[in-house]
């Protein structure tokens, strides 16, 4: 169900011809109200794509009535013409839905430095608005079509739903299989809810949720130019949830989508959770986890099922987090391979054949903790990213 699970939303996904494969490549999600509150977070990359530059303006008043997303081109570093394409796409959606273009978010994903074909986009918008479905028998199929339309190298669509005991619902869809890195939001994600919340509450909840989910997913250390996480509230269920309860449920949905992104990361053969405990601060824990997640040597070793814990410590040592370099403990998949900077259990005891890998780093420097999700560095990653150009 994803984006149409919550009442008050319609979705569609169509093939506009932007992908040479002929697959679906344009999606629209419409908020049918009664509310039109929204929040969004964007890539912190300073080189932002045109749709991000546009959407940052749209979100500033907290009102979003529709979002249009395309794969098949990032519309980044395409200059003034590229910005016009984004603007014209929003106008096309606005014309069809009889809303203002200033209330239409635009998201694009694909190759940087190539112009999108505006004729294809406009025809796709026309088709998508005709196909919009929500609150009816076709809504699940429509939501799936939308989730498919934003896929690039993804092998499967990503959807998640949370239904609260009180009766409000959160649903989300995501794309992303490479360029997953922090700075926030490094994928396209649309989340909808029928709860009654204003844009300030949505913004608070969204930042709480993304900080500990998408922001801690660092598949390959590369930060995208386009990525966006948008949260739209229709208020259609008429229930006003507690903000803490809502944020917790939203975090659950975001975590599910983040784990789906990790599980589908380009070419990966292991999903690695790097849990840093007993750090002086949460920032230290994140810094240490991220340093390990960006060590190509460590990631290649995991690909080879080699529990090379020295590469974990070598990466930890590059950070300025608080710790005694010779007071760190490391366990891999439950085997304590290093205690206080000396070898402990034999590394041969570590079984790295499962896809799921757990690296536990005890800094012995405080009480804070954080977990970073990453993937291994594989032949297939290199292959997909050397040949990828769509």
Assess 54 for contact with a second copy (CB under 8 A). no
Strand partners, 191: 172, 231
DSSP string covering 158-190: EEEEEE-TTS-EEEEEEE-SS---SSS--SEEE
Say which of 85, 86, 109, 186 is annotated catalytic.
Answer: 186
Q: Which of residues 180-219 bind a second copy (CB under 8 A)?
A: 183
Task: Note whether 256 and 173 are within 8 A (CB).
Answer: no
Residue range at the interface with a second copy (CB under 8 A); choices 64-72, 74-82, 165-173, 233-241: 74-82
Question: Which of 178, 235, 241, 289 is the binder for a second copy (CB under 8 A)?
Answer: 178
Cis peptide before 252 (omega within 30 of 0): no
Question: Which of 60, 84, 296, 356 is the binder for a second copy (CB under 8 A)?
Answer: 296
Active site residue 186: yes
Residue range at the interface with a second copy (CB under 8 A); choices 100-108, 136-144, 175-183, 203-211: 175-183
**Minimum gap (Å) between residue 306 Cβ and a second copy:** 6
Residue range at the interface with a second copy (CB under 8 A); choices 24-32, 45-53, 165-173, 359-367: 45-53
Give dist(CA 29, CA 143) in Å, integer: 9
**Minimum gap (Å) between residue 377 Cβ and a second copy:** 6
Assigned token pair, 291: 């340093």
**Minimum gap (Å) between residue 379 Cβ and a second copy:** 5
Place of tokens 């081109």: 73
Question: Which of 70, 86, 120, 225 is the binder for a second copy (CB under 8 A)?
Answer: 225
| Cβ-based neighbours of 389, under 8 Å, separated by 6 or more | 111
Contact track, a second copy, 351-380, x by CB under 8 A: --------------------------xxx-
Longest CA–CA separation in the chain, Å: 67
**Minimum gap (Å) between residue 247 Cβ and a second copy:** 28
**Minimum gap (Å) between residue 86 Cβ and a second copy:** 14
Give dist(CA 129, CA 379) in Å, integer: 41
Q: Which of residues 301-320 bind a second copy (CB under 8 A)?
A: 301, 303-304, 306, 308-311, 313-319
What phi, psi does 118 have (nearest 5°)?
-65, -35
The sign of the CA dihedral 234, 186, 61, 53 is negative
| Cβ-based neighbours of 248, under 8 Å, separated by 6 or more | none
> Which residues have a catalytic role annotated?
186
């Amino acid at each position: 169900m994803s984006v149409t699970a919550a009442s008050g939303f319609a979705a569609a996904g169509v093939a506009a011809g932007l992908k040479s494969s002929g697959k679906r490549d344009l999606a629209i999600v419409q908020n049918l109200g009664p509310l039109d509150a929204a929040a969004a977070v964007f890539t912190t990359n300073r080189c932002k794509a045109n749709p991000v530059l546009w959407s940052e303006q749209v979100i500033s008043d907290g009102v979003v009535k529709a979002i249009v997303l395309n794969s098949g081109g990032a519309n980044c570093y395409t200059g003034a013409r590229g910005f016009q394409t984004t603007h014209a796409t929003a106008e096309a959606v606005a014309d069809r839905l009889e809303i203002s273009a200033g209330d239409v978010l635009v998201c694009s994903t694909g190759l940087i430095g190539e112009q999108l074909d505006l004729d294809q986009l406009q025809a796709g918008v026309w088709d998508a608005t005709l196909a919009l479905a929500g609150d009816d028998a076709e809504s699940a199929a429509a939501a799936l079509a939308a989730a498919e339309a934003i896929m690039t190298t993804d092998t499967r669509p990503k959807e998640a739903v949370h239904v609260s005991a009180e009766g409000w619902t959160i649903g989300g869809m995501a794309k992303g299989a490479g360029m997953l890195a922090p700075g926030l939001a490094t994928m396209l994600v649309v989340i909808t809810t029928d709860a009654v919340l204003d844009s300030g509450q949505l913004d608070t909840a969204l930042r709480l949720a993304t900080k500990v989910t998408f922001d801690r997913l660092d598949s390959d250390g590369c930060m995208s130019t386009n990525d966006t996480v948008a949260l739209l509230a229709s208020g259609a269920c008429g229930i006003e949830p507690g903000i803490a309860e809502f944020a917790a449920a939203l975090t659950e949905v975001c975590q599910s989508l983040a784990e789906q992104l990790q599980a589908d990361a380009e070419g990966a053969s292991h999903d690695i959770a790097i849990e840093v405990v007993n750090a002086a601060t949460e920032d230290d824990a994140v810094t240490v986890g991220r340093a390990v997640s960006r060590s190509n040597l460590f990631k290649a070793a995991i690909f080879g099922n080699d529990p090379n814990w020295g590469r974990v410590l070598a990466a930890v040592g590059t950070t300025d987090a608080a710790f005694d370099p010779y007071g760190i403990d490391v366990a891999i998949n439950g085997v304590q391979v290093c205690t206080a900077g000396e070898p402990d259990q034999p590394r041969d005891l570590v079984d790295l054949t499962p896809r799921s890998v757990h690296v536990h780093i005890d800094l012995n420097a405080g009480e804070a903790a954080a977990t970073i999700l990453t993937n291994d560095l594989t032949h297939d990653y290199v292959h997909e990213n050397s040949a990828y150009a769509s």
